[in-house]
Structure 1
Amino acid sequence: MSPAPRIAVTGLGVLCSVGDGVTEFAESLRAGRSGLSAPGPTPASGPAPTPGPAFTASLRDFALDRSLDALPQLPAALRDLALRTARRSPLPVQAAVTVALQAWGQAGLHEAAEARERTGVVVAGSNLTERYTENSRARAAPNPAYLPARYALHHQDTDHVATLSRVLGITGEGFTVGGASASGNVGLVNGARMLAVGAADVCLVVGALSDLSELQTRGFLTLGAMAVAGAGDEDDPAERPAAPFDIRHRGFHPGQGAACLVLETEDSALRRGAAVLGRLAGHAIALDGNHLAAPSADGEARAMRGALAAAGLAPREVAYVSAHGTGSPLGDATETAALRDVFGAAGGGPWVNATKGLTGHCLAAAGVVEAVAVMLQIQGGFVHPNPGLDKPADSGCRFSGTAAAPAGIAFALSNGFGFGGINTSVALAHPDA
């Protein structure tokens, strides 16, 4: 049996509250710039509204045409095709096209003569169009004729795959995968496996934007997973968001985001002369045998150990862990217990931070957004700050502080954990490691 191919990362794309593209996102990471903001004031009269999210991190004035205009390296014909194809698509699909084209351009695939049947696409996420469905139902209620003509296409998650295939001419394998908040990492794992078995030479992994409906938002609030507005007390008025792992944490803050990694066999990258930005060195998925929103330190530790084993790494070789870190008191405590299990309780372990403190929780896209953040920190030689982490609820981890810290990162782990006991971890590496 021939050895598994080494998996290179040759392109990155990201769209979130603190960055449209990798350059702006990298600057925000280094500065510790948060996209979280409090909701607007409640009405002064009328019935009291049901409390909503405490803070959100929404996209800033996104427009598909402006984002595409910011990619001058793309051929005009490709830009025009993307705009024609996705102009009337729901927001999550437009975001997917944007980040895919960012990564496609950085990887030089717009100039490549590689066979499109050897290129695949994996879209990470499920239940991605509930807001579109909710809005379409309201629009069609007075008269069914008001239903958008392409509703039957747009309301399916596979519309992402089809649109990306059309825009980029991809004719290899393509599918969607779900894993709740671990979906992004599940997508990376499946993209790497596609390359490992020889089904493709190049694979785009897109973490899809979750545009939450009112019903989805209410469900997370009712469950107690999302931080609710007005939950502070006299000593903690909750005027600013608490970072994950801080004693003030009360749940996650929702964020809008999408991201893309171009994964490619190193042989393919060498043939094309593509610059290798880093490597996906190992990965693991481990279930808990649990259908509830109850995390398990054992399952999370098994996922991290599995990723290390697949990468051939010892824990001491990991310089940095991008934690799942949602800001849930139980979730944060469980993850810190798992980190101590894997890396020991000594303070000299890997750096730990949580990108959700800046971007909010991007849900289905979180794993891919955070993988992009890890790659940028590996390239830039730093770990981003944890603004709002004033008093760690657990002192057993080496959390980054209020300013970026220099760090030579050869190997890093990026964790993603989802409801129902879906535990994932991916090992990312410097291109020279």
Structure 2
Amino acid sequence: MRRVVITGQGAINALGHSAGETCAAMREGRNGIGRLHFRDVERLSIQIGGQVRDYDPATRFSRQQLSLYDPNTQFALIAAAEAMAQSGLEIDEALAPRTGVVMGNSGGGLQTIDENYRTVYEEGKNRVHPFVIPRLMNNAAASHISMTYGLKGPTYTVSTACASSNHAMGQAFETIKLGNADAMLTGGSESMLVFGGIKAWEGLRVMSRDACRPFSKNRNGMVQGEGAAVFVFEEYEHARARGAEILAEVTGFAMSSDASDIVMPSREGAVRAMRGALRSAGADASQVGYINAHGTGTAANDRSECAAVREVFGAHADELMISATKSMHGHLIGGTGAVELLACIMALREGVIAPTIGYELPDPDCDLDVVPNEARDADVSLVLSNAFAFGGLNAVLALQRV
């Protein structure tokens, strides 16, 4: 099987408008969660989120482009541009059919949906913009990335709720590994921070009104975020031949289904996914130094995930570092695993473990080293990234230093 490496990364989210800004904020333990700003926010019970601040789409895209791009697509294109620039990958006639796109996304163009529901049902208008469908469809971001760079290989969107981007990156990894592509742009994007999006999530009663505190005994729910992260995955020898800088190697991937409950997490499903990722990577549990947790800040998820880590890693669990960066950037739903992969790469390249901020009280059910409140210097060579979604769909990636 061929080896797969990462040669470029890009991002935009509540912590910054680039991968570099995002990682700097993670190192500082900065909180990107704050009061939301959009129409009718005062009607919501939940008024906080990890919103992208100081963003003017008109400085990034033309009027014609903005007629086609929901913010979900805008964020994906911004992240992809940064990833491609860092990678230095040049798409020629021979490489185009061997390069594709797999993006994770859950809500599609939710801002477009929200605006047009208002147009029809609130304002009583009988016509909507002719590009509503191209703007709101889930595959819009993947398709526009493909068209922007002329990528003619396998291109599609994965939608598995909160595990979407981990599933997408896992599919990109396996596509290259099996020889069906030489490079893939992959990651995830989401833009659910609109009135209808938050109102729908309020109904589940899993949202915090004040902060995201994963693993802390006084945690009281998740906080939504928005944005995107995109990576260039590339076959190892192809990257070496062109002299590309290698950020990390993707060595393992596994998926599982709980097949139990539509919203409650399952320890057994998480265990199978983590063990499967280690098996895929040909690694022993004792080699793992850091896990980027799913860590949503809900009582059920954090307890279940910690129990699963205990089962998979045994005595080694006491030596592991595990942190939840959602405490800083919020839960990007379909895009969250992609932003969290930045923390995994930072751990491998820079030896910096992103913290779990907002941690206040120890919980006996979460008795792991959760890197509370401050980043930590550490030498790790193998890391895992966990994603466990509503619907009981789990996806875990393993990365190592090259």
- Normalising by structure 1, what TM-score? 0.86
Superposed displacement of residue 84, structure 1: 6.9
Q: Which of 134, 152, 161 lines up with 1:153 in the alignment?
A: 134
Residue 298 of structure 1 pairs with residue 268 of structure 2: yes
**Residue in 2 that maps onto 1:138:** 118
Q: Secondary structure at the match of 2:383?
A: strand
Q: Which moved more, 1:273-282 or 1:205-214?
A: 205-214
Distance in 2 separating the partners of 1:346 and 1:118: 41
**Residue in 1 that maps onto 2:109:** 129
Residue 252 of structure 1 pairs with residue 222 of structure 2: yes
Q: Which moved more, 1:387-396 or 1:283-292?
A: 387-396
Q: Secondary structure at the match of 1:59?
A: coil
**Residue in 2 that maps onto 1:419:** 390
Distance in 2 separating the partners of 1:11 and 1:124: 17
**Residue in 2 that maps onto 1:30:** 27
Distance in 1 separating the partners of 2:337 and 2:49: 18
Aligned structure 1 segments of 4 or more residues deviating by more than 4 angstroms: 82-85, 110-114
**Residue in 1 that maps onto 2:179:** 198
Q: Secondary structure at the match of 2:255?
A: strand
**Residue in 2 that maps onto 1:59:** 52
Percent identical pairs in the alignment equals 29
Say if 1:411 and 1:427, in contact at 8 Å, map to a contact too.
Answer: yes
Superposed displacement of residue 137, structure 1: 2.8
Distance in 1 separating the partners of 2:35 and 2:298: 18
Note the residue ranges of structure 1 that are not aligned, 5 or more in a row.
44-48, 69-81, 230-237
- Normalising by structure 2, what TM-score? 0.93
Q: Which of 289, 302, 321 lines up with 1:351 in the alignment?
A: 321
Q: 1:277-426 maps to which residues of 2 (within 5 A)? A: 277-344=247-314, 348-394=318-364, 395-426=366-397
Distance in 1 separating the partners of 2:93 and 2:298: 47
Say if 1:85 and 1:163, in contact at 8 Å, map to a contact too.
Answer: no
Say if 2:107 and 2:192, in contact at 8 Å, map to a contact too.
Answer: no
1:212-262 CA distance string (max 9 Å, x none): 4433322322212222x3xxxxxxxx5xx2421111211110111200011
Q: Secondary structure at the match of 2:72?
A: helix
Say if 1:184 and 1:365, in contact at 8 Å, map to a contact too.
Answer: yes
Say if 2:343 and 2:353, in contact at 8 Å, map to a contact too.
Answer: no
**Residue in 1 that maps onto 2:166:** 185
Say if 1:261 and 1:372, in contact at 8 Å, map to a contact too.
Answer: no
Superposed displacement of residue 86, structure 1: 3.2
- Equivalent pairs, count: 396
Distance in 1 separating the partners of 2:63 and 2:194: 26
Letter in 2 for 1:170: L
1:301-331 CA distance string (max 9 Å, x none): 1100100010011111000000000000011
Residue 118 of structure 1 pairs with residue 108 of structure 2: no
Superposed displacement of residue 107, structure 1: 0.6
Residue 266 of structure 1 pairs with residue 236 of structure 2: yes
Q: Secondary structure at the match of 1:425?
A: strand
Say if 1:374 and 1:414, in contact at 8 Å, map to a contact too.
Answer: yes
Superposed displacement of residue 178, structure 1: 1.2
